[in-house]
Amino acid sequence: MLGAARVIFGVAVAVLGMENLIWSRTAEPAIPILPWVPPYPLAAWLMGLALVAPGLSIATQVRARTSALQLGILLAVCAMLLQLPRMASSPADLGFRTLFFETLALAGASLAVAGTLPADGVPSAQREEAIAMLSGAGRWLFAISSVVFGVDHFEAPGFIASLVPFWIPGGLLWASVTGAALIAAGACIGIRRLQRPAAMLLGAMFALWFVVLHAPRVLGLPFSGVPQAPHNPHEWSSAFIALAMCGAAWVFAQPKAAIRPETTEIAGAEAIAHDASASAAA
| pLDDT confidence of residue 282 | 44
Residue type for position 264: T
Three-state DSSP class for 91? coil
Closest by Cα among 148, 160, 221 to 186: 148
pTM, rounded to two decimals = 0.86
Query: Count of CB atoms within 10 A of residue 42's CB?
Result: 9
Q: What gap in Å lies between CA 193 and CA 185, rounded to an integer?
A: 10
When pLDDT is averaged across residues 38-47 and rounded to a whole number, the result is 88
The mean-pLDDT minimum among 55-64, 115-124, 177-186, 205-214 falls in 115-124
| pLDDT confidence of residue 271 | 39
Three-state DSSP class for 221? coil
Q: What is the DSSP letter of 71?
A: H
| pLDDT confidence of residue 220 | 85
Asked if residue 70 has pLDDT above 90, the reply is yes
- Is 55 in contact with 12 (CB distance < 8 Å)? yes
- Tens of pLDDT, residue by residue over 242-268, are 999 999 999 998 765 444 444 434 444
Would you list the domain boundaries of the chain?
Answer: 2-281
| pLDDT confidence of residue 92 | 83
More confident residue, 103 or 29: 103
Q: What gap in Å lies between CA 252 and CA 53, rounded to an integer?
A: 23
